[in-house]
Structure 1
Amino acid sequence: MSDLDPRLRERLTAYRNDVVTQVAGPGPDQARHVLRRRRRMTAVAVAAAAVVLVVAPVVANAALRGDQNRPVPAESVEPTAPSTSAPPTPPPTGSPTPTPSANAPAAPDGRISRAQLLAARIDLPNWPSGMSAGGCTTSDVRLQTDTTDTYVSMLTDDAFEHGDVDGDEAAETIAIVACRYGEASAKQVVAFDRDLDGRIVTVGRVVRTGDGFDDIRAVDINRNGSVEVRVADIVPCCGTPAYLQREQVRTYRWDGQRFSQTDGPTTFGKDPRLTDLRMTMTHKLVDVPGADTRRKLTLVFTVTNAGPVDAAQVAFHSIEGGERAGGDWSRCDPEPGPSADHPSCLLPGVPVGESRRYTFVQLVPGKPGPDAITPRFRVFHCDAQDRSWPDLKRNDNEVPSPLRF
């Protein structure tokens, strides 16, 4: 440097002195400055690592699910205050709560036609005791129709009814089946349905005869699924006139296992149309003067009406075996209508609580023949239409003849 121009040396010296004064040398201040810078760098690195730890599982789970809506990294992170609300209750463990499934099979349509039921083999509920032993079968039955055979299960002519009686939102079929045991038949109201394979199956018996009544007249299904059955106390057959029959409507519902009565009367009780007639008799037998071998028999019947119904007319039966010879024969109707059960005489009746006397005179043989019998005389209540009605106590409106004819 000694060969440098003195002026140049002065300028280099001044420049070096100026630069040295601007450069911080090692010392406490410089050490604190470096430490603060390192701490800031460490904090930034830790925050970056935390963001990576949070975002990485979300991105990974989205990739595993094949989720097309992958999360986008946030551009900035704003600090949030910790939540003070309680965490949501986790769902209960175990089997999931059942929900209506669109895949569940719908209940089959149980609408069955008459022809379909006749063509199928079915199982029937039990018949009243003694009917099955007589031949009214219940297993694998092929129903018949228009038959007069006895102890054969048959389908009646009554109309079918269709409706949802078991609550499965599909219709079932209600029909009346019968089994003849003579002039009359036992009957059942039976509910039929189809299984998932379309086969006809028996749901159950709604009701049958023998349960406090002897005939089933009709059935109907209400909108709520209950079954109304019109029943009758007697069967109009075998010489029993139809006007004697009383009817009731009883309601039954399916409870999941069987049909039970839910409405309507449960018994018929006494027939309010009937009354109690009571009869006593006196007689007088005398010989007929002359060569006639016959004798005169005078019968006097006292009839009392013990109630509770006025008897518009009374009918006498079985006053036979002789020739009419006087008394009330002249004022009685000897040939009333056939509904009066062909009485021997029909006369004005007896109000409740009163008595009437009726006299009949006959000529009868002097000696009974080999075929003679001891007849019994009966009195019956008849209405104004000449219709004969049973008596509430038959034993006290009947008396035997005093002699054989």
Structure 2
Amino acid sequence: MSDLDPLLRERLAAYRNDVVTRVTGPGPDQARQLLRRRRRMTAVAVAVAAVVLVVAPVVANAALNDDDRTPPVPAESVTPTPSSTWAPPTPSPSTGSPSPSTTPTAPDGRISRAQLLSARVDLPNWQPGEMEGGCATAKVRLRTNTTTVYVSELAEDPFRYGDLDGDGAVETVAIVSCRYGEASAKQLVAFDRDRDGRIVTLGRVVQTGDGFQDIRAVKITSTGSVEVRVADIVPCCGTPVHWRREQVRTYEWNGERFSQTDGPTKFGTDPRLTDLKLKMTYELVDVPGADTRRKLTTVFTVTNAGPLDAAQVAFHSIVIAGGERAGGDWSRCDPDPPPQADEPSCLLPGVPAGESRRYTFVQLVPAKPGPYATQPSFRVFHCDAQDRSWPDLKGDDTAVRLPIAL
């Protein structure tokens, strides 16, 4: 090579250096820079993955717990946004029957009279002390039209139907009675069916003895309330019907029992009554020339203590057995009084409230008492303009007794 021209040797050295540089690649410094750049990229990728792992459970847990808080921003960034042109496939319409509801349907509680009479039912307890004979309450087979005392009976009143407990199905309300003499105790009972179709007792709406003595009528409203017409007395045993008072009281099921929600809770003082007081003086003398007769003169003073004017007053049993009318106020009395116990034997003009009136009756009575002679008693009653008698507000001072036997 020493024979080569120096100029040619210089050009060959420059060409060799240029070729070596292109083939060999970067040197150590460039390699170290490339390595550092790759490590930073790896660290960033690991950090992003860690954020995804931490945020994803938080977002999922918030969704399960119905969290109303705004989800963190990273949760939005890691979930890919679906393309606006994509939509889930539309399911084909089902040709089969719809799936049954998981909510069970309430049993139908509409019960007929025949069905109730053929079943054995449990009844609520009767009033303590009222049913001394012991009307049965467990597994009772109800009867109808019985005159036997202390037997549970299904009253002739019509059944009523309505959704009492809000379950979407109707229940049945019926009046059950228990005879204990001429009168009967009554209960208004709600019946239903269980899941097996058996008749069961939902509960007692109300019963007599709770401030009233009779159940007259029943109505169920569209909201499931039970309106009950009750009466303070049962007209029987000589008690006239016009003495009866009635009220409408409303009851509702509260989930455990029926309780009153509307209407009056008691009858209170009857505004049709007043307070009469009776006093008497008498005189018994012999009748000249008559050995078998004596003259009895009775003077009754009636005071009206109010608050109501008494249009008329009536004296019962005022005629002495074997006696004969002989003067006084007999002219104002019915000459032939009817025999009914609730009708007055002598009806006279009445007494205004706060005033007094005197009534005199003269009779000829036997001179000697008979074997069945007794001390006669007299009682006064308030009567209205329709000749109907009424009980007294107090009643303990409306009667007097003659101190001698006749």
1:324 aligns with 2:325: yes
Aligned length: 359
1:140 aligns with 2:139: yes
Aligned to 1:83: 73
Q: Deviations over 1:84-110 (max 9, x none)?
A: 7999xxxxxxxxxxxxx9413222221
- Which residue identity does 1:190 align to in structure 2? V
Aligned to 1:399: 400
The alpha carbon displacement at 1:153 in A equals: 0.3
SS in 1 for 2:266: coil
Separation in structure 1 between the aligned mates of residue 45 and residue 30 of structure 2, nearest angstrom: 23
Q: Deviations over 1:219-270 (max 9, x none)?
A: 2223332222211111111111111001111222222222222222222122
- Which residue identity does 2:295 align to in structure 1? K
Contact 1:308 1:352 in 2 (8 A): yes
The alpha carbon displacement at 1:140 in A equals: 0.4
Pairing of 1:215-226 with structure 2 (within 5 A): 215-226=214-225
SS in 2 for 1:116: helix
SS in 2 for 1:118: helix
* CA shift in 2, pair 1:314/1:41, >3 Å: closer
1:209 aligns with 2:202: no
Separation in structure 2 between the aligned mates of residue 349 and residue 360 of structure 1, nearest angstrom: 16
SS in 1 for 2:73: coil
SS in 2 for 1:278: strand
Separation in structure 1 between the aligned mates of residue 393 and residue 340 of structure 2, nearest angstrom: 19
- Which residue identity does 2:310 align to in structure 1? A
Aligned to 1:259: 258
Separation in structure 1 between the aligned mates of residue 180 and residue 333 of structure 2, nearest angstrom: 40
Contact 2:343 2:389 in 1 (8 A): no
- Which residue identity does 2:346 align to in structure 1? C
The alpha carbon displacement at 1:328 in A equals: 1.2
* CA shift in 2, pair 1:359/1:217, >3 Å: same
Please say which of residues 16-25 and 265-274 is displaced more in the overlay. Answer: 16-25
* CA shift in 2, pair 1:35/1:362, >3 Å: same
Separation in structure 1 between the aligned mates of residue 160 and residue 260 of structure 2, nearest angstrom: 18
Aligned to 1:371: 372
The alpha carbon displacement at 1:132 in A equals: 4.4
Contact 2:325 2:363 in 1 (8 A): yes
The alpha carbon displacement at 1:292 in A equals: 4.5
Pairing of 1:6-405 with structure 2 (within 5 A): 20=16, 22-25=18-21, 30-32=27-29, 83=73, 102-319=101-318, 320-321=320-321, 322-335=323-336, 341-405=342-406
* CA shift in 2, pair 1:334/1:166, >3 Å: farther
Aligned to 1:6: none
- Which residue identity does 2:390 align to in structure 1? W
Separation in structure 2 between the aligned mates of residue 52 and residue 374 of structure 1, nearest angstrom: 117
Please say which of residues 379-388 and 155-164 is displaced more in the overlay. Answer: 155-164
* CA shift in 2, pair 1:219/1:16, >3 Å: same
The alpha carbon displacement at 1:52 in A equals: 11
SS in 2 for 1:379: strand
Q: Deviations over 1:301-338 (max 9, x none)?
A: 11111111111111111122111112111221244667
Q: TM-score, normalising length from structure 1?
A: 0.78
Q: TM-score, normalising length from structure 2?
A: 0.78
Separation in structure 1 between the aligned mates of residue 263 and residue 51 of structure 2, nearest angstrom: 74
- Which residue identity does 1:328 align to in structure 2? D
SS in 2 for 1:117: helix
SS in 1 for 2:114: helix
Separation in structure 1 between the aligned mates of residue 292 and residue 339 of structure 2, nearest angstrom: 35
Separation in structure 1 between the aligned mates of residue 230 and residue 138 of structure 2, nearest angstrom: 26
Please say which of residues 190-199 and 166-175 is displaced more in the overlay. Answer: 166-175
Please say which of residues 345-354 and 288-297 is displaced more in the overlay. Answer: 288-297
Contact 1:337 1:386 in 2 (8 A): no
The alpha carbon displacement at 1:361 in A equals: 1.1
Separation in structure 2 between the aligned mates of residue 400 and residue 140 of structure 1, nearest angstrom: 54
SS in 2 for 1:333: coil
Separation in structure 1 between the aligned mates of residue 355 and residue 348 of structure 2, nearest angstrom: 15
SS in 1 for 2:135: coil
The alpha carbon displacement at 1:135 in A equals: 3.2
Separation in structure 2 between the aligned mates of residue 86 and residue 380 of structure 1, nearest angstrom: 94
The alpha carbon displacement at 1:129 in A equals: 1.7
Contact 1:177 1:188 in 2 (8 A): yes
Contact 2:298 2:361 in 1 (8 A): yes
* CA shift in 2, pair 1:21/1:168, >3 Å: same
Identity %: 67
Contact 2:239 2:342 in 1 (8 A): no
SS in 1 for 2:292: coil
The alpha carbon displacement at 1:280 in A equals: 1.1
Structure 2: runs of 5 or more not aligned: 1-8, 53-71, 78-99
SS in 1 for 2:205: strand
The alpha carbon displacement at 1:205 in A equals: 1.1
Aligned to 1:93: none
Separation in structure 2 between the aligned mates of residue 48 and residue 299 of structure 1, nearest angstrom: 126
Structure 1: runs of 5 or more not aligned: 1-12, 56-81, 88-100
Contact 1:340 1:387 in 2 (8 A): no
SS in 2 for 1:392: coil
Contact 2:309 2:351 in 1 (8 A): yes
The alpha carbon displacement at 1:196 in A equals: 0.9
